[in-house]
Amino acid sequence: MKLRDGPSACPSLWRSLPCPPAELRLDLVLSSGQTFRWWESSPGAWTGVLGERVWTLRQEQDRLWYTVYGEEQDGRPDGAETDQILRDYFQLDVGLPALYRAWGAADPLFRKVANDFPGVRVLRQDPVECLLSFICTSNNHISRITAMIERLCQAFGRHLCCLDARPIHAFPSLSALAGTDTEARLRALGFGYRAKFVSGTARAIVEGLGAEGLRRLRTVPYAEARRELCALPGVGTKVADCVCLMALDKAEAVPVDTHVWRIAQQRYGAVLGGRSLTPRAHQEIGDFFRGLWGPRAGWAQAVLFCADLRKGQELAGSRDQARRSRGRDNRGRCPP
């Protein structure tokens, strides 16, 4: 990997943590729509921004290897600090195999899926980044969301370094997104109606809770945290549940969209929610899965969501390959 911006951007030495695949699968967790700031920079290696530093991660056998690209003026973190950042981000203090066994014992469908999708765990993200990112997910798909977040960071975030001639920026601060011209700039970047919600929520947090107040929602009950989030511009129940689960330590939060609703109805035979995804429907479906999977229901749902997403991507890839093959066959049958 070629590095620019001089010696201050050089990586530290590679370090590793014990982490078997049953506890973490980078390829599943970092590509399944929990976060949008990681990319596979080379086969098996994932590069992204965490804690305003650029990291590259790689798994080999039972170890998670990493290197950090820092800036000299910020001070380079020591190994104990970087180890703890990763442990916290991936919540490695939560033993995943025991949870998989418990969920599988309670749910034969989960048991069937889980064998092919080990190591799917929920990230513990920065609340501001998680909230503003998930506002961008409305009526959107992962590749487009990822591109939007990249444009957001390039336009408003602090430049960190360049890797392989690719400029990498930190996620923007709240103050950077709370300006009076932010909405117009985001619309110019292709955010559409989401521009109003991103800028409005950033401004509402600056003028209200503040970043620390948002982080303190980790200590309040789930229902209270969700209620506070739903009072922000553009934040509905689903986005609030994503933030509760992935940034605010509410492992019982089950984000419900039409996809999860369909899983509940078609695979579990659950007659829930009426004909539309009202707040009541969200509550009923979440309660159903909490009753099935227990206090970490959001983690179990993440496994099923990842499995469905990966299978959908594989199916789409197969269809694309078939179309290309048909195209080649048709060209082959054309007269000279």
Domain co-membership, 165 together with 242? yes
The phi and psi torsions of 170 (rounded to 5 degrees) equal -70, 160
* In the chain, % of residues over pLDDT 70: 85
Selected catalytic residue, list 2, 112, 196, 238:
238
Task: Decide if 95 is inside a domain.
Answer: no
pLDDT of residue 4: 44
The phi and psi torsions of 4 (rounded to 5 degrees) equal -120, 175
Please choose, from the candidates 198, 180, 178, the residue with its C-alpha nearest in 3D space to the C-alpha of residue 136. Answer: 198
pLDDT of residue 323: 58
Distances (CA, A) of 286 to 187, 257, 277, 297: 34, 11, 12, 8
Whether 24 and 87 have beta carbons less than 8 Å apart is answered as no
Task: Decide if 159 is inside a domain.
Answer: yes
Domain co-membership, 82 together with 39? yes
Whether 121 and 96 have beta carbons less than 8 Å apart is answered as yes
pLDDT of residue 77: 65
Task: Determine the Cα–Cα distance for residues 31 and 170; give it in Å rounded to an integer.
Answer: 19
Domain co-membership, 77 together with 127? no
Domain co-membership, 140 together with 78? no
Ranking 40-49, 74-83, 238-247 by mean pLDDT, the lowest is 74-83
Residues 13-41 have a mean pLDDT of: 95
Which two structure tokens, joined as six digits, stand for 320? Answer: 């694309």
Its pTM stands at 0.88
Task: Decide if 309 is inside a domain.
Answer: no
Domain co-membership, 79 together with 153? no
pLDDT of residue 7: 33
Task: Determine the Cα–Cα distance for residues 225 and 235; give it in Å rounded to an integer.
Answer: 12
Domain co-membership, 135 together with 181? yes
Segment holding 65, helix H or strand E: strand 63-69
Domain co-membership, 78 together with 129? no
Whether 274 and 281 have beta carbons less than 8 Å apart is answered as yes
Task: Determine the Cα–Cα distance for residues 117 and 28; give it in Å rounded to an integer.
Answer: 8
Task: Determine the Cα–Cα distance for residues 65 and 59; give it in Å rounded to an integer.
Answer: 6
Active-site residue flag, 196: no
Task: Determine the Cα–Cα distance for residues 330 and 324; give it in Å rounded to an integer.
Answer: 10
Report the alpha-carbon angle 44-123-74, nearest 5.
80
Confidence of residue 79 (pLDDT cuts 50, 70, 90): confident
Task: Decide if 281 is inside a domain.
Answer: no
From the CB of residue 53, how many other CB atoms can be counted at a distance below 10 Å?
21
Chain-centre distance of CA 174, in angstroms?
19
pLDDT of residue 328: 47
pLDDT of residue 164: 85
Domain co-membership, 157 together with 42? no
- The total of structural domains in the chain comes to 2
Q: Which of 250, 271, 295 is the last residue of a domain?
A: 250
Domain co-membership, 22 together with 74? yes
Q: Which of 73, 90, 107 is the last residue of a domain?
A: 90
pLDDT of residue 238: 94
In this predicted model, what pLDDT tens digit does every residue of 114-171 receive, in sequence order? 989 999 999 999 999 999 999 999 888 899 999 999 999 999 999 999 998 899 999 9
The phi and psi torsions of 105 (rounded to 5 degrees) equal -65, -35
Domain co-membership, 230 together with 160? yes
Task: Decide if 221 is inside a domain.
Answer: yes
Task: Decide if 117 is inside a domain.
Answer: no
Bridge partners (DSSP) of residue 17 are 64
Task: Decide if 312 is inside a domain.
Answer: no
Domain co-membership, 131 together with 65? no
Residues 205-213 have a mean pLDDT of: 95
Distances (CA, A) of 317 to 30, 143, 313, 323: 19, 14, 6, 10
In this predicted model, what pLDDT tens digit does every residue of 315-330 receive, in sequence order? 555 555 555 555 544 4
- Domain range for 46 is 11-90
Residues 6+ apart with CB under 8 A from 173: none
Task: Decide if 111 is inside a domain.
Answer: no
Residues 6+ apart with CB under 8 A from 180: none
Task: Determine the Cα–Cα distance for residues 114 and 305; give it in Å rounded to an integer.
Answer: 11
Domain CATH number, residue 228: 1.10.340.30
Q: Which of 67, 90, 113 is the last residue of a domain?
A: 90
Confidence of residue 277 (pLDDT cuts 50, 70, 90): confident
Domain co-membership, 130 together with 234? yes
In this predicted model, what pLDDT tens digit does every residue of 239-275 receive, in sequence order? 999 999 999 999 999 999 888 888 888 888 777 766 7
Write down the mean pLDDT value for the chain. Answer: 88
Task: Determine the Cα–Cα distance for residues 41 and 31; give it in Å rounded to an integer.
Answer: 13
- Cα dihedral sign, 115-316-243-79: positive
Whether 151 and 169 have beta carbons less than 8 Å apart is answered as no
